[in-house]
Structure 1
């Protein structure tokens, strides 16, 4: 219980820092309180529970904490503005490799190759259909590909399929209330294309969390 509470409190603080950072980025976003705090707080509480139960080793716990923080920050911007700032996606690539390094040389090698593979595949899709996959999604795929490949090669296609399904579900379900709560938008505005970045981030976080479990 202590680990859960600590994770929730620290997550809320980290989420608040993310919200402040987003507001100061040149191409960031102004996010309502307490969106980031709530998202990161809940995620870190769950990670704290997993750490207390011994289901993840410390290196994976650190990676998951960073991944969920990044997912909250980048996902909120994409939901609000339909873009992913370079200030978030580009530094995330070396950060991902640094976080994977404690897992060992094999995982680090897979991560480096996974980043290139994921970016290459997403770049090809972007060139073929720019409307369905933006340039920001291509840049995002590199860091996510690194952490996914660190889990296993199979995690890459699994996360890609899950992300596509999540985007399809988001496109067909009503989103006015969620959009108004998260982004400050007003119901009744013309529907814009569903951003794919949040689905990529959520899918990667779920696949990494599940793949890193100590069975």
Structure 2
């Protein structure tokens, strides 16, 4: 049964990724994504979430990793292809994330406090780095950090620090591997944030 649920989740994710690829090519400052990049990536992430729901993840939380998986793939592809995180994707993620957090708050007290703390911590750290060294982070990274802070902080404020550190390490590793040239930071922040939301230790 779990396998079937995972396959269904993957199929739905493939469709969502296909739609996302179309959106990415149509929105302002979007990019033309290679065929199947978005489809396969979202399919894998949504299949994992489906399996997690089948094995104990509360239904009221599933929307968070599904959202982050979908928009995260689109943003990661855009950042890798064009070194930018467009507002048309990052800004609408705020109200949608807030809706999902509101649903979670009905079932788990303290979620709002964690989300607010995460927003201030993640967004604040990135804003300070941006002010000190504008070349280190783009404005899109700062806007994305606020969304990631909301959803990761809803799990645990301490997890926000772990994601910030992981994102910095991933970016440094990528920079050392690539050598010279710009390095997209979005994927390095999105992956650990999604892992936290997908494997949140909800009882």
Q: Please classify the TM superposition score into its range, dividing by the shorter chain length.
A: over 0.9
Partner of 1:163: 167
In 2, distance between residues paired with 1:41 and 1:68? 9
**3-state SS in 1 of match to 2:114:** helix
Alpha-carbon spacing, 1:141–1:5, altered in 2? closer, same or farther (3 Å): same
Match for 1:116 among 116, 120, 128? 120
**Could you tell me whether the CA contact under 8 Å between 1:97 and 1:112 is conserved in 2?**
no
**Could you tell me whether the CA contact under 8 Å between 2:64 and 2:197 is conserved in 1?**
no
Partner of 2:102: 101
Partner of 2:47: 45
In 2, distance between residues paired with 1:113 and 1:172? 32
Normalising by structure 2, we get a TM-score of 0.92
Of 139-148 and 116-125, the range deviating more from structure 2: 116-125
Partner of 2:12: 10
**3-state SS in 1 of match to 2:110:** helix
Displaced runs of 4 or more, over 4 A: none
Normalising by structure 1, we get a TM-score of 0.87
How far has the Cα of 1:60 moved from its partner?
Answer: 1.8
**Could you tell me whether the CA contact under 8 Å between 2:60 and 2:104 is conserved in 1?**
yes
In 2, distance between residues paired with 1:114 and 1:154? 9
In 2, distance between residues paired with 1:168 and 1:111? 27
RMSD: 1.5
How far has the Cα of 1:174 moved from its partner?
Answer: 5.0
**Could you tell me whether the CA contact under 8 Å between 1:158 and 1:207 is conserved in 2?**
no
**Structure 1 gap segments, 5+ residues each:** 176-190
Match for 1:138 among 127, 139, 142? 142
Of 32-41 and 199-208, the range deviating more from structure 2: 199-208
Partner of 1:61: 62
**Structure 2 gap segments, 5+ residues each:** none
